[in-house]
Amino acid sequence: MRRTGNLVAACAVAAAVLTALAAENPSPARASAAHRLYAIGSDVAIPRPGRLALRAGPGSRRVLARVGRRTVFGTPTRLAVVGSSGEWLAVVSAMLGNRVRGFIHRSSVRLVHDPFSLEIDLSARRLTVWRMGAALRRVAIGIGGRASPTPAGRFSITDKLTNFMPSVYGCCILALSGRQTRIPQGWRGGARLAIHVGSVVGGAVSAGCVRASERDVRYLMRILPLGTQVVIHA
């Protein structure tokens, strides 16, 4: 990633993804917004020292959540920017619901540009790595089962973990900001969505997470920055 050095360019990127706030529901306009994300990437916000308030709207006094400089897994916090309103930025966070966006003031963060994005097509059971309009890699994946489907929506990569419960998740995990809203009965693995190594690639058997081969997950771990946006659609 590179630092966003030109305010006009930063605003242009933010404007290009402004309509992505509603990208969870299929429509020609929303699909176009996702395609623009794949074409140009997006901004990522790095919080300055101190706790950062995620507000309910631009200038709102209502605080939805507060985030520190590190996640619950100890990873540096990176917030994907999905829209803007003046000097206020709409961001994705694991501290919020799947379809909830928090707003932060531009002065409270440092912006960098991320040229990458991920597209997860549930119907095709395929993950595509996009970089500035180029499809770098297409990966076969496993997805959530009928009782615990993988939620659609716009999320981000919050953490890259290695040797975290390897008997369950394999070598490595890309934790996402989203949560499974239909946890299977008896499941004790938590509600966070993730991309991780797993069996039955191509099937629909997981508790909601996306599974891929170890080779493909290691590739994703290596190439994708924290804060990269992930669009999951049917």
User: 42 and 23 share a domain?
Assistant: yes
Residue type, 83: G
Instruction: From 86, 114, 142, give the residue that closes a domain.
Output: 114
User: 133 and 145 share a domain?
Assistant: yes
CATH number, domain containing residue 211: 2.40.440.10
pTM for the model = 0.86
Query: Using one digit for the tens of pLDDT, what is the confidence trace for 70-118?
Result: 999 999 999 999 999 999 999 999 999 999 999 999 999 999 999 999 9
**Nearest Cα to 77, choosing from 158, 2, 1, 4?**
158
User: 121 and 71 share a domain?
Assistant: no
Q: Which residues, in sequence order, are bridge partners of residue 231?
A: 119, 154
Cβ within 8 Å of residue 156, ≥6 positions away: 78, 79, 80, 92, 176, 177, 227, 228, 229, 230
User: 97 and 179 share a domain?
Assistant: no
User: For the chain, which ranges sit under pLDDT 70?
Assistant: 1-27, 29-30
Total domains present in the chain: 2
User: 109 and 121 share a domain?
Assistant: no
Helix, strand or coil, per DSSP, at residue 2 = strand
